[in-house]
Amino acid sequence: MAYKHDEDIKIASNRPSQDIRQESEQLALDKEYSHQKESGNLDLAENLGRVFARQVCGFEVSGNCNGQDRVLFAFAAVSAIEAGMNRLCGISALSGFYNYLMETDREFYDKLDKAFSFYYLSLRKGLDVERKIGTNFAMLCENENNARFADRGAEMYREFLSGFAQKIDESEFSD
């Protein structure tokens, strides 16, 4: 075959093996998405996220924490979703969770960024997570040097996370 024009020649990208790997990963993700959608898992996850958000909206706030106990409750829900679900179901659950909060309590939703950034730092460091989350909780409650608040925050996070994780485990996601 003789090439007559430049457009007859295909030039590979600078990273052809990376392009092939990305295409393969995308195909696998598309297949997994189809499976999760067809099995009803994505709808179940989104609904579960909304259930968690309703629980957050109904959470009884104590008077001495500036509402940070409710924020910690929300963070525990998000943490449980991220740790307890596969990637696609987690995305669906978080979508349902955040959408519900935006629709029903925008002011609370807008408060989450600041506190969540402190809590995520604790999670990402990976060591003694509950204690660090408790310390951040105390700081956000404006009781930074109060060990009782830090212990309370750690215990609350542990209990909240366990409750949400149990609900995820009890959900009937198909394989």
Q: φ and ψ at 30, to 5 degrees? A: -60, -40
Query: Distance (Å, rounded) from C-alpha 137 to C-alpha 152?
Result: 9
Q: Where are the domains of the chain?
A: 17-170
- List of residues 6+ apart from 7 with CB closer than 8 A: none
Total-model pTM: 0.83
pLDDT tens for each residue of the chain, 175 residues long: 555 655 555 555 666 666 656 676 777 777 888 888 999 999 999 999 999 999 999 999 887 888 999 999 999 999 999 999 999 999 999 999 999 999 999 999 999 999 999 999 999 888 899 999 999 999 999 999 999 999 999 999 999 999 999 999 999 888 7
